[in-house]
Structure 1
Amino acid sequence: MGSKSKKTASSHTTETETGTHSFKIVGYTLNKGIGVGKSIRSGTFSVGDYDWALRFYPDGVNEVSKDFAAVYLLLVCKNAEVRASYSLRLVNKNTGLQETLCSETTIRVFKTCNTACFSPCTWIARSSELLAGYIVDDCLTIECTVAVVKDSWVENTGSFEIEVPPSDLSEHFSKLFLAEEGSDVTFSVGGKNFPAHKIVLATRSPVFKAQLYGQMKERRARRVTVEDIQPDVFKALLQFIYTDSLPEWDGLDAEEYCEISRHLLAAADRYAMDRLKLLCASNLVNYLDTENVATTLALADQHNCDRLKDVCIEFMGSSDEMDAVVKTEGYANLKRTCPSILVDILEKKSRKPMT
């Protein structure tokens, strides 16, 4: 017999978690002259299971640096030692322009037990055109991105291993949806027809199950008319039922994307599809701003989306741009249709700490 050869392998894996925090200093000129060595601190933000904050010194850290504003990244956890990299930059919210102040890509150690809890100081000449170019409406915005090194581990790969491909179930159901083969019900929505399979819809939605297999008249019907839903929204609903995913919608701008997400959330609520409802809520949170927060809050209240409602109330209660929110059409509609919600917003606003 010939000699046996065995091939083995191992790997060492290290992961990082990255997060970005935006620190907006409103009324920047009011903080100039607070004194050398005095700072403004951001709210605490979490990256990699550790708490961080930014410190900004409008008049410098000491007498030597009094002609320079200074920015630090600060680890605020107790008794912690963290390996991380970071970058600090100024952001002009009107133009989108950014100016990197410091980018330390080499991993360094932050320790809360000594001065190593601070990043190296980032200096900005207070009289420079650079700083002036990023003060918009007397607001200065500083963004910080932190990449925290997390757990490392070693994996051993033996010689007796069979690679299993990832699940392609959604691909098969996508083909079933698109090919329309074997469909036993057709939905008429806004003049467009959508063939589908009763058993698939009933499996995914209790409302469809009651409609197609219960005592409702649609149980024996091969054609069902659906009112009050746009065709594109109903098609996206069906795609999610078959594939557990949404269309890409690459051609939509932010406003159009939010609009179809609102309609799809309403459809998800109508057909008791909770995961789709939360997915739409998550998408709307990603685009939340002063122009649409009131409209989104009214939608969340109407369709019992409690988490989205809480986020909107938190956003409005903590926003420094409440005057801009009040001027929107969405706020006027909210005030007219859901006046009780305004009490929650006012309570949240009253609990906001004074700066």
Structure 2
Amino acid sequence: MSKIDDSYSPKTQEAVALLSALIETQSFSREEDEVAAVVDLFFTNKGLNPFRSGNNLWLKSKHWDEAKPTILLNSHIDTVKPASSYTLDPFKAQVIDGKLYGLGSNDAGGPLVCLMQAFLHYQDQEDLPYNLIMAATSEEEISGANGVASILKDLGKIDLAIVGEPTLMDMAVAEKGLVVLDCEAKGVSGHAARDEGENAIYKALIEIDKLKNFQFEKESAYLGPIKKTVTLIEAGTQHNVVPDSCKFVVDVRTTDAYSNTETVKIIDDLMDVTVTPRSIRLNSSGLSQDHPVVKRGESLGMKKYGSPTLSDQALMPFDTIKIGPGDSARSHTADEYIGIDEIEAGIKGYIELLKDLKL
């Protein structure tokens, strides 16, 4: 495990030691058993007994009061697989020039260990105006069914979730959702040498052009317009047969201006093709600018923005905000890192955000 100098706070020292252990434990999505055990051991060594379901762990604050609102602190323990262009060992935690390198250091190990320190800071406090739950969850990178979505019923009523992802400690007050559409234009087959049939490719091109030029009426204040991109197309069986089917895939990045269901219906009504969504569960999110956590963040100098990237927010049917140390631009890149200063600032930032917060 990597060590840092004594100028950093004890909380930062402990967070870096834990993050180093997480980096050095393989934690690909659906393979998080060993890294979940590392988090479990960390809490157990502090005399705490986390709940566990699959590879998801969570703790509730000591002085629980059903009459109080509940804040969920959540980040994920899984990682993508390392890029082939790594020059450092992705599974070796190394501190170089004040930066901790290793797979998952930035996305989202740094936010996770900072949230854990914030939870420990407050979990014994008797006069909190809210309950706290700390959840370290799995399968975020694949929006898996066995991740945070699988334990929401166990957590009970949540009034606000602070989702730990690298945001430079700015506030993502809105986040784009995702719908993938399988579309098919249908024609009539015929011989290419004769004026026969109805070419499904030509029909698909007309509908694709219609989609390309279509603008939704409403636009999100922070996320802008809904983005729709045709990413795959397939048609034809051989050169001399007019194709009677042309299939294409549309990647739709939804916003809080419309629900995923509404978005799909608008596109379906627009195009003369069959439109089948693979899933509508990855919804966009948006938080009121008057929400107490937004006001508290603004008082601390945190900037507001809309995030184009998905997180576990998409699976949470309650108020959420995404904040964390690190930079989203480093996520999934070779030689991923997070600054030690960022970890120290992240711990302090979370603690200050929760201080005197009233929902």
TM bin (shorter chain): under 0.3
TM-score for the superposition, normalised by structure 1: 0.21
Q: Kindly indicate which of the two structures has a greater share of residues assigned to strand.
A: 1
Q: Kindly indicate which of the two structures has a greater share of residues assigned to helix.
A: 1
Larger relative contact order (CA 8 Å, sep ≥ 6): 2
User: If you compute each CA radius of gyration, which structure gives the higher value, 1 or 2?
Assistant: 1
